[in-house]
């Protein structure tokens, strides 16, 4: 159980991030979550978590910008005095084939997905090391392990997240801070809703467990890695993908 703990989830307004907020709140953690700009969705997450009886703070903050991340962590420490769990979930796609991919599409995806996770891990490291305890869970993707046509930028960013996870795990282990990654497969959220039906069904056909994933499937894995029970697990990548990447 996570009572008395504070969890910070980036990109908590929708999809996987919202499910993670709700799961950690259900386990008793106070929740701080960030979002890019969708205030209506953020309000829904906030209400859902408050209904579970925990304190909730929603902060609009672009994770790719150093000043915004500093302000986000300042707000967490001011309001809650500690940060026990960090879930780096905020992420975007800007898909196109390599030959057509614009430099800006590459930069934006790297800035949000890779630099955003770096900035948040950096900001969390000091308070977690001082506490001599902490859990960092980075949301990667199964495509970092397998590759995916049309996603050179996204696959690069998520493979980078896995590399950073392992490096940070080695740096922070001595202070009781674990750093792990969860690699979701094909999960039903706004991010995947935009895909045409034939793409969705052909992807589903390649999943041994024969269904698309739900945000809750990912949230359950994150909750385990964020728990006291996962104290002896660090630097790992846990695929939550119905068997896609084995």
Chosen residue from 2, 9, 14, 85 binding ligand NAP by CB under 6 A:
14
Q: Which residue among 2, 9, 17, 120 contacts ligand NAP (CB under 6 A)? A: 17
Q: Measuring CA to CA, which residue among 81, 78, 61, 51 is closest to residue 9?
A: 61
By CB under 6 A, tell whether 189 contacts ligand NAP. Answer: yes
Show the binding pattern over residues 56-85: x = contacts ligand NAP (CB under 6 A), - = does not: ------xxx---------------------
CA separation for the pair 12, 45 (Å, rounded): 7
Choose which of 77, 191, 203, 245 interacts with ligand NAP (CB under 6 A): 191
Binding flag, residue 178, ligand NAP (CB under 6 A): no
Q: Is 190 a residue that touches ligand NAP (CB under 6 A)? A: yes
Q: How far is the CB of 66 from ligand NAP (least distance, A)?
A: 12
Rule CB under 6 A: say whether 108 interacts with ligand NAP.
no
242 near ligand NAP, rule: CB under 6 A = no
Q: Is there a catalytic annotation at residue 35?
A: no
118 lines the binding site for ligand NAP (CB under 6 A):
no
Cβ at position 130, least distance to ligand NAP in Å: 25
Region of 15 please: left (phi>0), alpha (psi -120 to 50) or beta: left
Q: Does 186 bind ligand NAP (CB under 6 A)?
A: yes
Q: Is 15 in the site for ligand NAP (CB under 6 A)?
A: yes
Regarding beta strands 237-240 and 56-60, do their DSSP bridges make them parallel or antiparallel, or are they unpaired? unpaired
Q: Which stretch binds ligand NAP (CB under 6 A): 48-56, 165-173, 187-195, 219-227?
A: 187-195
172 or 187: CB nearest ligand NAP: 187
Q: Considering only residues 31-60, where is the footprint of ligand NAP by CB under 6 A?
A: 34-38, 41
Distance CA 67, CA 89 (A): 19
Q: Which two tokens stand for residue 21?
A: 């907020």
Q: Which residues bind ligand NAP (CB under 6 A)?
A: 10-11, 13-17, 34-38, 41, 62-64, 89-92, 112, 139, 141, 184, 186-187, 189-192
**Active site members:** 154
């Amino acid at each position: 159980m996570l009572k008395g703990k504070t969890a910070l989830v980036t990109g908590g307004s929708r999809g996987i991030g919202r499910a993670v907020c709700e799961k950690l709140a259900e386990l008793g953690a106070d929740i701080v979550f960030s979002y890019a700009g969708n205030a209506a969705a953020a309000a829904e997450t906030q209400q859902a978590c408050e209904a579970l009886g925990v304190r909730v703070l929603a902060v609009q903050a672009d994770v790719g910008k150093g000043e915004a991340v500093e302000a986000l962590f300042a707000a967490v420490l001011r309001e809650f005095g500690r940060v026990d769990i960090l879930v780096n979930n905020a992420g975007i796609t800007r898909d196109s084939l390599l030959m057509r991919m614009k430099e800006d599409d590459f930069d934006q995806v790297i800035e949000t997905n890779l630099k955003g996770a770096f900035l948040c891990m950096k900001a969390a490291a000091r308070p977690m090391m001082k506490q001599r305890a902490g859990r960092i869970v980075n949301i990667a993707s199964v495509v970092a392990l397998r590759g995916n046509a049309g996603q050179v930028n996204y696959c690069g960013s998520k493979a980078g997240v896995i590399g950073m996870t392992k490096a940070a795990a080695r740096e922070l282990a001595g202070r009781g801070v674990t750093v792990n990654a969860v690699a979701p497969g094909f999960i039903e959220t706004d991010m995947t809703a935009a895909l045409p039906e034939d793409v969705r069904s052909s992807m589903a056909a390649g999943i041994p467990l024969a269904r698309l994933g739900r945000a809750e499937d990912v949230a359950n894995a994150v909750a385990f890695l964020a728990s006291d029970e996962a104290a002896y697990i660090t630097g790992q990548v846990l695929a939550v993908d119905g068997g896609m990447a084995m």
